[in-house]
Structure 1
Amino acid sequence: MRRAQSNVVSVALLLGTVMLSLAGLTASVGLVVDSNTATADATRVSTDMERALSPVESTGVHRGRISFSEGTLETAERELRILDESGVVRTVRVDSLCFKSGSRRVTYVAGGIVRGTNGSARMYSQPPITTSRDGGVLVVGAAKLNASERVVTSKTGTSAHVWTNVTHARTTLGNGTYRVAIETEATGAWRRHFERQNATTTIRDFDGDGIPSVVAKYPGRRFAYLVVHDMRMEVR
């Protein structure tokens, strides 16, 4: 009788261990599926943003679509500044369009797309800011969303339709030494981008709103232009 009871207890313990293992495996599979879905969304959104928001190549009305299975798509106030020896000479409210799903983010600001998690991010698509390495000419393209605040949320899959009506305006800033400041939460990705352009970078909060700006200082004197690409974006 004791041996039979012992066998029953052993079988019960074994079944309990198996059930715990299966529960752990199910949870792990669930996490992997969620992670893969979020990664696929980030990849798709990055590509869609690049296609839908291409103001340098576009003039007039353009329509695009940004698709994702779960997350939020929202605008936020952001500014681009150009500084010379005396301080800020131009401020453009460029704003941002940000996709969030868990810890993953894809953010469009000033014509650049940054993709990554809360802990790290990288430049997916470069902004239209061009310069020679040591001097000469600096062209600052400011992609301006010019959109009313809008939030699109989905937990079952959606497509946000994006309309833009693009115009361009160029301003000559003249010869001098210049810095360009981009307001962004993804400071690491923007610093690395500017440093690859031979600029030195610092961090500064110009307006005290808690959102820092990456300030890129270009070496040498150069003739600068500001080109504002006004998109007048609508998201539906």
Structure 2
Amino acid sequence: MNAHPTGRAQSAVVGVALLLGVTMLSLGVLTASIGTVVQSNADAADAGRVATDLDAALDPVSATGPDSGHVSFTDGKLRRVDRSVRLLNDSGVVRNESVDGLVYSNEHHRVAFSSGAVVRGTGENARFTADPPLATSENVLLVGVARLNASGPDTVDGTNQRVRLETNVSHRRQSLGNDSYRVAVETATPAAWERYFARQNATTTRRDFDGDGVTSVVGQYPGDRTTYLVVHDVRLVIRHG
């Protein structure tokens, strides 16, 4: 008996080895792909839950007095950001309100609460899941501004986080008289605000008022209107758990 493998046998062994290698490689790619899909779905679910939680916990127009809510996510980061809302007429800026904001982000998604609105997404894909407290008619402009006045940690990040948001809301309304006003909202998602202003028949421009790199969308409403500024003072306390 020939103790040495023939060329055909050797080819068969090599072929099996190659086949096993390709199979293992394919299984590895498939496993990685499934893992990516699962993580992407988890990130999307987190973003959706955070958007709902922020809208429920921070309700500056309807709420008055003390209240509390929660924001929960399995992975990601919730942080405070500096934001402003300005009102302008032909003379320039007549009111500058520091409103602050909360931004949640994970690897694939972003959700932000600022000045009473909740925006999900980035760039041209950003969209409102809760509209801002702005209202207009032919002769009246009502500008609602949600000022967080937040205290507590600047950032909460990691896995399986539950953040308590304690609020104590009060309201103050001021008449600004009859004039042609522009509303400038500082935001990292200008496209969503531009679409919103367009639905209100306002034209828009972009401007960085303070040179911090964050653009303000300036909405110009046509004609003179009796304008009211309503400040919703949220007085937010951020706590773990």
- TM superposition score normalised by structure 2: 0.95
Cα 1:39–1:225 shift into 2, 3 Å: same
Task: Give the corresponding residue for 1:167.
Answer: 170
Distance 1:164 1:171 in 2: 22
Of 109-118 and 191-200, the range deviating more from structure 2: 109-118
CA distance in 2: counterparts of 1:154 and 1:50, whole angstroms: 22
SS in 2 for 1:147: coil
8 A contact 1:104–1:118 mirrored in 2: no
Unaligned runs of 5+ in 2: 1-5
Distance 1:94 1:230 in 2: 9
- For the 8 Å contact 1:73–1:98, the answer to whether it is kept is yes
Larger radius of gyration: 2
Contact 1:103 1:117 in 2 (8 A): no
1:188-224 CA distances to partner (integer Å, 9 max, x unpaired)? 1111111111000000000111111000000111000
> 1:124 deviation in Å?
1.1
2:223 is the counterpart of 1:196:
no
1:119, distance to aligned residue in structure 2 (A): 5.9
Q: Which residue is 2:47 aligned to?
A: 42
Q: Output aligned runs, 1:31-180, within 5 Å.
A: 31-117=36-122, 120-132=125-137, 135-148=138-151, 150-155=154-159, 157-180=160-183
Cα distance in structure 2, aligned partners of 1:166 and 1:114: 21
Question: Is the alpha carbon distance of 1:118 and 1:198 closer, same or farther for their aligned partners in structure 2, counting shifts above 3 Å?
Answer: closer
> What is the alpha-carbon distance in structure 1 between the residues aligned to residue 76 and residue 122 of structure 2?
14
- Following TM superposition, the consecutive aligned residue runs of length 4 or more in structure 1 with deviations greater than 6 angstroms are none
Q: Partners in 2 of 1:171 and 1:158 — Cα distance?
A: 39
Give the SS at the match of 2:211: coil
In the other structure, the counterpart of 1:30 is 35
CA displacement 1:129-187 (0-9 Å, x = unmatched): 1002xx300000000101136211122x1110000000101111000101000000101
Q: Distance in 1 between matches of 2:170 and 2:215?
A: 28
TM-fit CA distance, 1:102? 1.1
Are 1:61 and 1:165, in contact at CA under 8 Å, matched by a contact in 2? yes
1:97-150 CA distance string (max 9 Å, x none):
000101310000000110014562111110001002xx3000000001011362
| Counterparts of 2:163 and 2:190, CA distance in 1 | 27
Identity %: 53
Q: How many residues align?
A: 233
Cα distance in 2 for residues equivalent to 1:210 and 1:46: 25
Q: 1:182 aligns with which of 181, 185, 190?
A: 185
1:225 is aligned to 2:228 = yes
Is 1:215 aligned to residue 218 of structure 2? yes
What CA deviation, in whole Å up to 9, does each residue of 1:19-40 have, x standing for no partner?
1100110110011011000000
TM-score by length of 1: 0.97
Match of 1:206 among 183, 205, 209: 209
